[in-house]
Structure 1
Amino acid sequence: MASELHDAIIIAKQERHKNLFLNYRNLNIFPVELLKDDGLQFLERLYMKRNSLTTLPDNLAQKLPNLIELYLHSNNIAFIPQAIGNLARLQSLDLSDNALQVICPEIGRLRSLRHLRLSNNQLKCLPQELGDLMGLETLDVSMNLLRTLPEQLHQCVSLQRLTADRNFLQCLPRQLCQLPDLNELFMAANCLRSLPLDLGRSMELQFVFVDNNVHLKGLPSYLYNKVIGCNGCGVSPHVSDATQLSLNFGDLNVPLPSEVKAIGTEADRVLTLEEMAMRKLDVAYSRNKKDSAFLPAFLLPSSLFELFQCPLGHCHRCSQPMFTIVYPKLFPLKNTALAGVHRRTTSQWSTTESCTDHAEEYCY
């Protein structure tokens, strides 16, 4: 593995590659080969998804000054250095599914940043300096521990999509209603008790998802000509394993997926047993991946064992791996009484977008 990594970096240097894929390499530290001598001055896109990195080097911007996209999805990164702010050309930064507890204020210096993904971390607050990112178009902070959003977000005048599902938000800053280009707002599964009365006044805002906020009793009148409803991947995250059936492989106990309960109902489609088994094994393996003997190869046929180590892709929403199929993203939408005004928009949204639209970003 080490020799393959070294060869890949050497070839990238010699051939002046603009894209470098170092996904699934079991990396614990940032490869020193990337930082030697002058580094990779010509590199624009670096993919390091699903490794075991814990931090980033302080001289990253010095050695990789032309980075436009940096994908660090699914590592163990606990903090990012202040020097991250020196990546002047960076347009897309993905730190989803890590161990971040805080985001340094220097992130506000990334004035070229357009896409920032921080989902599935342990963030309790966001720096007010996010408001300095006036070119930011998408921000995903779902599945964290946030109780508030910074009021300064209203300064992100280019923001089109804000995703903050599954946090502990009790209210939204009224300043968010001032965002001129905001088109999609995702606030499902929070603790919202009310919404700003002028939310939805902007004609640009078309999609609002505030389902699973049990204390939210009503919507502002401006939202009644928008598309509102549910979002997600169709699999409830709150189903207790204790209530599920399970399979036993010797000492290994693997609960069956919740989809099994949907057989014979119209609520959910049922995936193939092969796909469901692979996903549940992946969950069990993730919980015990420090134990190298946890998943012996003989539990799976060789073809599936190879696929298990490198899935076909991952859902861009919840990061759930997809092993045997990549299926369209079909989220149920609940239209309001006046949704006929948006019938064409709703149809385009629900039938054309799929997980494969993001293949370049997540399916390597």
Structure 2
Amino acid sequence: MNFDIPTTSSSTFDFFEYKRSRSNSPNNEPDMLDLSYLDLENCESNLSYALQANLDSVQSITKILLNNNLINQIPPILSYFSHVETLDISSNFLKVLSQDICRLTNLKNLICRDNQLEDNSLPKDLGSKLVNLEVVNFSGNLFTQFPYQLLEIKNLKEIYLGSNKINGMPRNYEMLQRLEVLYLGGNQLKSLPDEINQLRSLTSLNLSNNLLTALPNSLARLRNMKTLALHGNNLTHLPVELVKLNLYELSLRNNPLVSRFAKEFSYNVPSLLELSGRIIKSKNVHYNLNILPIHLVNYLNSAQCCLNPKCKGVYFTSKVEHIKFVDFCGKFRVPLMQYLCSSTCNEKITNRTITTSSSSSGSDMSDTDDQYENKLLKKILIG
């Protein structure tokens, strides 16, 4: 390995004096190359020089720290440190990760937060080359989409993509069966795909400070999830299926759960198809494929029962949104979404529920219950 060593300037001399003093620190790790906080803005001189000066110990170095410098690119010489398992290149001016990083095939932890990476900044084959990656941190960059390269790395356990500009999520997570932590806080997500339920090993999901107005019911299939952060969104309710989860921590503060739960909800007038379907289902009229075309049979089979236990009605697409407060994980009460078949089908409030329709925007709770619910809601907001 032959490299042109830059001429040593006074600034370079000071730099190595500083490194020698740091090497005597009691916190120094023998397998770590610490080049952090050194203002290595001249990538082709100081940084290359520093890496080349450590080539003699290239076999023993498993951790390299290049964070908090002023570098805008990574020199090719870095690829010679093939035994590196942890690389921290955070807080620099990186706009692109060069193809050379794919040569670090033993890399397990890639920390690259607070740079200027965009959607096309990663090597296309990063996922197929760095197959041993377990932790990736791209928080504080400029991504607008979830990096597709990460979807190819089956050993990933933790992904951090907070404080980007991500406004869309992929639909295929089949390779990420070992993923335990997914941090997406501080982005621009308005929705999540149903396919999020493919992340079977997920224990912690952070969706805080996004633009979410609703959550997919499929989240309830993530039975290993223990922490769910939803604060700072536009949520007015949660899907009722979430009660199936045994969460240790649920964060809901700074959502319009209080101010909007009792407002008027829309109710679409049933179509003639729906009215006919309701009569067939409620009267138990027999039907099969010999009588009706398959699309009508499928439609009739999609009927949902009204929430009101005193009502035997059904609905298809025309329904009244119904908010019910439910004890959640034994810690607090949260508003969950359920449905009634019509605006006149009002369930009596036995468990402090709140029913809303197009003709009634108020609550039919007593004043005492209203005060009690408002008190409980405060617990939700600080949860």
TM bucket, shorter chain: 0.5 to 0.7
Select 1:106's aligned residue among 99, 118, 125.
125
Q: Give the match's secondary structure for 1:151.
A: coil
- Contact kept, 8 Å, 2:195 with 2:218, in 1: the verdict is no
Unaligned runs of 5+ in 2: 1-10, 255-325, 333-383
CA RMSD of aligned residues (A): 2.9
Change (3 A) 1:79 1:20: same
**In the TM superposition, what is the alpha-carbon distance from 1:10 to its structure 2 partner?**
12
Change (3 A) 1:138 1:231: farther
Give the letter aligned to residue 111 of structure 2: D
- Contact kept, 8 Å, 2:63 with 2:85, in 1: the verdict is yes
Change (3 A) 1:183 1:78: same
Higher mean C-alpha displacement, 77-86 vs 155-164: 77-86
Aligned to 2:138: 118
Unaligned runs of 5+ in 1: 233-335, 343-364
Q: Does 2:68 align with 1:88?
A: no
Q: Give the match's secondary structure for 1:33.
A: helix
CA distance in 1 between counterparts of 2:224 and 2:29 reads 42
Q: Give the match's secondary structure for 1:337.
A: strand
- Contact kept, 8 Å, 1:113 with 1:133, in 2: the verdict is yes
Aligned to 2:330: 340
Q: Does 2:173 align with 1:153?
A: yes
TM superposition outliers: structure 1 runs of 4+ over 3 Å: 4-12, 35-39
CA distance in 2 between counterparts of 1:182 and 1:11 reads 39
- Contact kept, 8 Å, 1:130 with 1:152, in 2: the verdict is no
CA distance in 2 between counterparts of 1:209 and 1:67 reads 33
Write the mapping of 1:1-364 to structure 2, written as runs, cut at 5 A: 2-6=12-16, 8=19, 17-28=30-41, 29=43, 30-35=47-52, 38=55, 40-61=58-79, 63-101=80-118, 102-108=121-127, 109-214=129-234, 216-224=235-243, 225=245, 226=247, 227-230=249-252, 337-340=327-330
Q: Give the match's secondary structure for 1:185.
A: strand
Q: Give the match's secondary structure for 1:83.
A: helix
CA distance in 2 between counterparts of 1:146 and 1:213 reads 15
Q: How many residues are aligned here?
A: 236
Give the letter aligned to residue 82 of structure 1: Q
**In the TM superposition, what is the alpha-carbon distance from 1:4 to its structure 2 partner?**
4.8
For residues 111-155 of structure 1, the C-alpha deviation after alignment (integer angstroms, 9 at most, x for no partner) is 111110011111122332211111111100000011112333342
CA distance in 2 between counterparts of 1:25 and 1:11 reads 11
- Contact kept, 8 Å, 2:95 with 2:115, in 1: the verdict is yes
Change (3 A) 1:34 1:117: same
CA distance in 1 between counterparts of 2:212 and 2:156 reads 25
Q: TM-score, normalised by structure 1?
A: 0.59
Q: Percent identity?
A: 22
CA distance in 1 between counterparts of 2:187 and 2:88 reads 23
Give the letter aligned to residue 117 of structure 2: L
For residues 38-79 of structure 1, the C-alpha deviation after alignment (integer angstroms, 9 at most, x for no partner) is 562321001122111111123422x11100000112111111
CA distance in 2 between counterparts of 1:51 and 1:114 reads 25
Q: TM-score, normalised by structure 2?
A: 0.56
Give the structure with higher Rg (CA).
2
- Contact kept, 8 Å, 1:187 with 1:210, in 2: the verdict is yes
